[in-house]
Structure formats: C-alpha cells, structure tokens
Amino acid sequence: MKSLIPLALAAIMFPGLLIAQEKSYDNSPIPSLDLGRFLGVWYEIARFDHSFERGMDNVAAEYLLRDDGKILVLNSGWKNGKYKVAEGKARQADPLTDPAHLEVSFFLSFYSDYNVLMLDDNYQVALVGSKSPKYLWILSRVPAPKDAVIDDVLKEAEERGYDTSKLIWVDQDINTAIPF
C-alpha cells in the first residue's frame, strides 16, 4: 500500500507539471550582423505589451555609433499627446562569435538582452526578442511595411514558438513626425 502512494501523487501532479511548463521558444540570435547597416532609424510595427511602452504610438528607435564603440539608443514615441524620449546605450556582447546578441541599458549599468532574431537581406525589417519570451518586437525602416513582409516576420516568430496573437500593433500615423 505504501508503494502506491508515490505513484498516486505522481499521477495527480503530472498533469499540473505539464500545464506549468512554458511553451518552448527559440530566442537564438541570427549568426551574423553588420552593425553599420543595422544602425539608423527603425519604426516599431508591433510589440508584446510591457509597462515601459504601454500606451505609446508612433514609436521609433534610432541607433547611432558612439565614439567609445557603444551604441547610442534613442527610443521615442507619443503617449497621451506628449512626445517622450528614452536615451540608452547598447553594446555587442561578443562581436566576433555572437554579433546579433546585443545588451541594452537605460539605467546605469543594468543591461538587458536584445537578440536580433530575424533580419532581411536588405536590413529593412527585423524581429527582435530577448532571453524572456515576454519581449518581442517587429521593426521596420518604414512606418508601414507591405503586408507580405509582415507575414514573413510573423511566420518566423511563430516558427520560433512565439504567440503572435499577443502582439500589439503600433499606430504609425505618418502625419506625426518623429523629430530625430
């Protein structure tokens, strides 16, 4: 009888363990990145919801090379009729062996992962994530990329295990200038 107790507990707990497991996803960065071509302005087309961008529209990021080799990051957008800018810095964690894995900081020396998951050959559209499946962005060089381009990015995200139904589509009103 005592030997049946662990088996019964396992049978009760096993379905719960399956439910508790997170869906697997692939957050590995692409194998190569030409940082010079990646720099410049990117428009945020879609993102997963998170507190630091909640309620923002017309969101863009500009990446500029600093004199010290790091990257100046200027994230901007509109929230409640007010223009907001967050200035940060980024660096390639290992430019030689993992060039598409960047680390970004907006506060002192606390860095977060920034993985370029997909990048088209012309550096016009990108899929970006982090170590956590809670962060995902679709970026484009233009505020309104073609549907076919977005479909390709969504397919890549889904193949990597991301739930694209959670994406928030960012209003990129072309009449609202982003003052870079």
Domains contained in the chain, CATH given: 35-169 (2.40.128.20)
Taking residues 92-108, what's their average pLDDT? 94
pLDDT surpassing 80 at residue 13: no
Rounded Cα distance, 1 and 150, in Å: 59
Please state the pTM of the whole predicted model: 0.84
- Please say if the pLDDT value at position 157 is more than 80: yes
For the cut 90, the answer to whether the pLDDT of residue 168 exceeds it is yes
Query: What's the pLDDT at 16?
Result: 43
Tell me the C-alpha distance between 98 and 93, whole Å: 7
Q: Are 157 and 127 in contact (CB under 8 A)?
A: yes
Residue 17, pLDDT score: 39
Residue 29 has pLDDT above 70, yes or no: yes
Strands (E), 27-161: 40-48, 57-65, 71-79, 82-94, 98-107, 110-119, 125-129, 136-140
Q: How far is Cα 78 from Cα 8, in angstroms, rounded to an integer?
A: 56
Residue 24, Cβ density class (10 Å: 0-12 exposed, 13-18 middle, ≥19 buried): exposed
Closest CA to 138 of 160, 112, 122, 116: 116
Q: Using CA atoms, how far apart are residues 22 and 9, in angstroms rounded to an integer?
A: 22
The percentage of the chain sitting over the pLDDT mark of 70, rounded to a whole number, equals 83
pLDDT the model gives residue 18: 40
CB 168 within 8 A of CB 49: yes
pLDDT of residue 166 exceeding 70, the answer is yes
- Quick one: pLDDT at residue 109? 85
Q: Is the pLDDT of residue 179 over 90?
A: no
